[in-house]
Structure 1
Amino acid sequence: MVHRKLTMLAAAVGCAAAMALWAAPGSMAATRLGVAPHLPTGASVVGLLPGATRVNVAVALRPRDPAGLQSFANEVSTPGSSLYGQYLTPAQFAARFGATPSQITEVESSLRSHGLSPGPLSPNGLSIPVSTTAGQLEQAFSTSLVRVALSGSRAAIANTVAPLLDANIAGAVQSVVGLDTLAHPRPLLQHSAVGAVRPRARAHVVTGGAQPCAGVQAAQAGQGGFTTDQIASAYGLSGLYLTGDQGAGQTIILYELEPYDPDDIAAFQACYGTHAQIANIPVDGGAGDGPGAGEAALDIEQAIGFAPGANIVVYEGPNSTATGPGSGYYDTWSAIIGQDRGKVVSASWGQCEALEPAGDAQALGVLFAEAAAQGQTVVSASGDEGSEGCNNPPGQGPPDFSLAVADPASQPFVTGVGGTRLESPGPRPLEQVWNNGGSPLAALTAPGASGGGISSRWRMPSYQSGAPGWLGVVQSYSTSAYCGGGSGYCREVPDVSANSDPATPYLIYWNGSGSVGGFPRG
């Protein structure tokens, strides 16, 4: 089990965070939903959040038939099942598994009675957005919101006690998502420093797909790294391209919590001769402007490069911040799955599973079960801190070497994607696990390791427990001790892997004159 030194937040704030009164006169008995968040080691409360601060939360509702949803999502995804491939539309999902109309009415009525204005119900019937001020939220849920200084450079917001709900709706609510920002989704991206591998193969590989321009080939020859056609060749996409399959008619959905510069994407397409259509869908106001940290640009350019005929839809939501709570990371997933615009969904953002509020993780788990029920494949990076998924990047907090995995890659209805080191793309690829933690030089020039390990929250799904023995999924390290004990085992991560080592980087256009992997745009 993950062990970490934690301090109860409610105890830490003491008298400085006075509790607000439950607002509704003569209301029914009320109950707390879940528990208050805990402060990580080294964190401290620095004051109250100003009452006028704007906040956005999502009241996530429980599905009407949780066991039935899990069963259906498994059956519809399992070849040989009588339900295999009989996917639902979002409207059908809402009618079958969303909260009941009476539950929705009661929750909305309760929120209004405590001074909140619920927004429109999500398409799946499972979440209600609320946009208000910190002061109104504190009064409505009988809690206080405080500012927290974390070790390193990041600040956060947290609630001092769990939200208080009217007893008649407590059973219908899964979580109030976004009350704290202690668990912070981050891009699972490592920028290459120096020493990128120069592949043992020519840069230009005739795949039948997108081909790089002379400028990119020259940059690759000079500094190392891989071009898109090399990666496509290494992973066997050439055969698809040669039959004319470049992804036409398919839509790839990208989950992003940062902006990107359209000029970077235009430069990539001009170099590779692609003309992919890109649609941007902002959630909760979007992710802002600018080039971002490179994650969104990398995701978009690689999706275009590998499937130049596909449509690309980028959902951009705001990440949780130090200025106020927010449910942007959850709302972005809810929009992607609830709108069901494409059947392939990719995310390279994750957070420490052990620090994520249990209710939030369960609410996300319902969304991913919905995705499976609708025939959407969700893939997510497993992290870049090896088996220590809660460890902090340099400058962002103290080291945390406890064993942990990243969410959402650890979710049972998500395919977790780990990392490898691709020494050569072929003709016979040379590849090994990405783990630079044991080499001081590698850790300096190309830090990190493929995320992976055993989940402390989820049981092992049948597609792992029933895997052929020669795959070694169930082995001496498999156990149920980390996720509650009993029969069976815990979910293991990752499920599949591909090149991710910053010493064998992807060459992309980013930030005008720079690139992840290091060549200028132009």
Structure 2
Amino acid sequence: MIRMKGLWLSMLAISAVITGINLNNIQVSAKAKGLSNTQVNAILTKSKLYRPSKIKPNQETTFDVFLKPKNESQYFQEALDVNTPGNSQFKHYLTPTEIGNKFGQSNSVITGWTSFLKKHGLKTIVSKNKRVIFVSGKAGSIGKLFKTNLNSAKYHHNPFQFGKVGPKFPKNLSKSLLAFGGMADHNRDNVIPNADLQLAKISPIVHRVGGYTTRFTRTYHLSSLLEKGFNGKGNAVGIISFEGIHKSNVFHFWKHEHASISPARYTVKNVQGNFFNPKMISNDSGEATMDVEYAGSVAPQANIRMYRQKSEMPTFLNTVNLFNMAYDENKVSSLSSSWGLQSNKTNALMQKKGMLPKQYLDILSLTFAQGDLQGISTFVGSGDTGAGSYYVKRITKNHAFLGYSQHSNDIITTNPWLTSCGGTTLPYFYKGAMLKKSEFGNIGNISNKNERAWGSNFIKVLQSKPELLKKDPIIRLKLTVGGGGGFSEIYATPSYQKGVPGVNTFNARKLLTKYNYPILNAPLISGTGQGRNFPDISANADALTPYIVYQKEKGQSPWSLGAGTSIVGPQMAGAIADLNSGRSTRMGFLNAQIYQLATTQNSPFNPLNSTTDNNNMYYTGQPGTVYNQASGLGTVNFEKLFEEYK
């Protein structure tokens, strides 16, 4: 998310806590002119750390028991089969109970685990998928069982060991264990880097540059379906969140947008998990407010169900628990998350340090594929830092030393069992006088003629005014912005992408050095790649063509601006609820079908394939193809999608 009160814009988003902008401690106001190149280099290479709060022996905490699924390969194959036209299993979605009976552990194994844990003073809740047991109890009791202290617990090669020695578990239980989750969540080495940048505040231009719900519904041909009465009625949209909202803000916005304001329309399900740092919890979040407002205005008659974990900082355990609960309830037909879990490179370091179980990627895929088996369409933002991101190379005392790579991407936004949403820029023209007092500064007139992939607007400005970089080195911090996209190093190319023109090939322009110095007049380069290509689809996410959000705050205008790929996901989830209200069955996991549709004559997608002024700070278009890593299959024509989708 990019959250602007008139225009807040975080450019680094190292932590990818939100996919993603999170406003943290480093603040540079409009008055703080004169950052030197040395100071900018320091921001780009070194970050302070957030650490979890210590836990006392009598405090309640949680962990998960992840059990091995039966027939794992069949589990994943069926997640595709039920969503693939022409397959004999197409649209034969399963319920959570059916998934548990077919792929979960036996009742005797489940009873063995719950009885054993109960004997040690711990409480359990068993997921309907019979694959996850949620455990809670006092930290001292958990530490005694596992022969460890939760403040220093680490994962070892022995899946039962978290201290100097491993505990003894019954053999019949040991055979069924995949991993424990959350055991190292209280360890002080379980860190999240803080390297975000809050830039200038301005408010007078909110209503001049911002758009409301119709900016999305009209641009992407959803309005005609809404006019026909396909408005989400009878469906529910789920929102994954680590923060709370004030309902009054949301209902005020919905009323303004002529959406339903039935009191029963919005509900919250609080989900079990671990705290990260209680002092950081927000009950009036700009990110969560934006997500709920726009999911509920794009689908004006759908119910909105928030799944919330009161932690603020996403951890592996908390994230998995939120998705597990949403799928276990099976109340929503579409689901959106604006929170990620940091770069694949950062997570690899954390796993090496013993902060994550070695099976963490498999657990994520098992979790998300359950939603696909149930026909739930799940959307995530691809990120707001362009192609690649910063990651943690090493940790020394209270600082992280950072690296940058095109192959550093969030482990959720790239997961092949989710639909990844990239960002675009809409046409605009702004006079320099209008932007002079904003965070964009004195850059003169700027314009954009056609919708294109979202990348920094400053590269084009610097082509004609390179002297601006010498006058204001802070511009370098405004260049790492754009829709996430590229190739995943950790997930293989999924079957639904193979053979699609543009997948595993690329065009690109190297626009930045690793220290964010711009490379002007960068030549076009071409090549091949491998792994999961992302994003899948895209929509407007640029801060120069933002959305208007309502959030009342003391002493400030309640109308502010929001942007980023994290506003794309909730709107996509709302749009699918609209389409579902005109169908007899859920649309399900889009990816299994949309890559087929993109290659047909009547494709519902508009690929953004120009190689000029169309990039996410690296990848650009591939003329003659249907896919590129800057914007995926492109933008959606929902009217056509409704007609063509089976």
Q: Same fold (TM over 0.5)?
A: yes
Aligned residue number for residue 283 of structure 1: 271
Return the alpha-carbon distance in structure 1 between the equivalents of residues 52 and 312 of structure 2: 18
Question: Is the CA contact (8 Å cut-off) linking 1:58 and 1:129 kept in structure 2?
Answer: yes
Tell me the alpha carbon deviations over residues 67-126 of structure 1, each in whole angstroms, 9 at most, x when there is no partner. Answer: 11011111111111111111011111111111222322333344345x242412112111
Please give the secondary structure, in 2, of the residue aligned with 1:457: coil
Aligned length: 428
In structure 2, give the amino acid aligned to 1:509. Y
The equivalent of 1:349 in structure 2 is 339
1:407 and 2:445 are equivalent in the alignment:
no
After the TM superposition, which of the residue ranges 498-507 and 344-353 deviates more from structure 2? 498-507
CA contact (8 A) 1:60 1:177 kept: yes
Rounded to whole Å, the distance in 2 between the matches of 1:379 and 1:502 is 21
> Residue in 2 aligned with 1:59?
65
Of stretches 309-318 and 396-405 in structure 1, the one that deviates more from structure 2 is 396-405
* 1:509 aligned to which of 539, 550, 568: 550
For residues 445 and 194 of structure 1, what CA distance do their matches in structure 2 show?
15
SS of 1:268's equivalent in the other structure is helix
Task: Give the deviation of 1:301 after TM superposition.
Answer: 0.8
The C-alpha deviation readout for 1:351-372, integer Å capped at 9, x for no partner, is 1233443423322211211111
Identity %: 25
CA contact (8 A) 2:47 2:402 kept: no
CA contact (8 A) 2:333 2:377 kept: yes
Tell me which of 143, 157, 165 is aligned to 1:138.
143
Is 2:235 the partner of 1:250?
yes
**Residue type of the partner of 1:504?**
T
Letter in 2 for 1:475: T
Counterpart Cα distance in 2 of 1:349 and 1:252? 16
Letter in 2 for 1:230: R
- Confirm or deny that 1:464 pairs with 2:497: yes
Counterpart amino acid of residue 134 in structure 1? A
Find the aligned partners of 1:238 and 1:192 in 2 and give their Cα distance.
35
Q: Quick check: 1:266 aligned with 2:251?
A: yes
Contact 2:49 2:400 in 1 (8 A): no
User: Does residue 79 of structure 2 align to residue 73 of structure 1?
Assistant: yes
SS at match of 2:88: coil
Q: CA deviation at 1:508?
A: 0.4
Q: Structure 2 unaligned runs (5+)?
A: 1-45, 154-161, 348-355, 393-397, 430-447, 460-472, 509-528, 563-646
The 5-angstrom pairing of residues 121-132 of structure 1 reads 121-132=126-137
The answer as to whether partners of 1:283 and 1:317 remain within 8 angstroms in 2 is yes
Task: Describe how 1:335-484 pairs up with structure 2 within 5 A.
Answer: 335-352=325-342, 353-356=344-347, 357=356, 358-391=358-391, 398-402=401-405, 403-424=407-428, 430-436=450-456, 439=459, 448-467=481-500, 469=501, 472-475=502-505
CA RMSD of aligned residues (A): 3.9
What is the alpha-carbon distance in structure 1 between the residues aligned to residue 298 and residue 50 of structure 2? 46
SS in 1 for 2:240: strand
Please say if residues 195 and 445 of structure 1, whose CA atoms lie closer than 8 Å, have aligned partners that are also in contact.
Answer: no
What does residue 226 of structure 2 align with?
Answer: 241
Structure 1 position 379, deviation (Å)? 0.7
8 Å contact 1:447–1:502 — kept in the other structure? no
Amino acid at match of 1:280: V
Structure 1 residue ranges without an equivalent (≥5): 1-39, 149-158, 197-217, 479-487
Alpha carbons 1:454, 1:493 under 8 Å: kept: yes
8 A Cα contact 1:174 1:362, kept in partner: no
Please list, as runs of the form range in 1=range in 2, the aligned pairs for 1:14-413 lying within 5 A after superposition: 49-112=55-118, 115-146=120-151, 166=169, 167-181=171-185, 193=200, 220-222=206-208, 224-276=209-261, 277-284=265-272, 291-319=283-311, 327-352=317-342, 353-356=344-347, 357=356, 358-391=358-391, 398-402=401-405, 403-413=407-417
2:548 and 2:164 map into 1 onto residues whose CA distance is 47
Structure 2 Cα separation of the partners of residues 321 and 135 of structure 1: 24
TM-score (norm 1): 0.71
The corresponding residue for 2:467 is none
CA distance in 1, matches of 2:409, 2:267: 32
The 1:316/1:286 distance shift into structure 2, 3 A limit, reads: farther
Query: Which residue of structure 2 aligns with residue 7 of structure 1?
Result: none
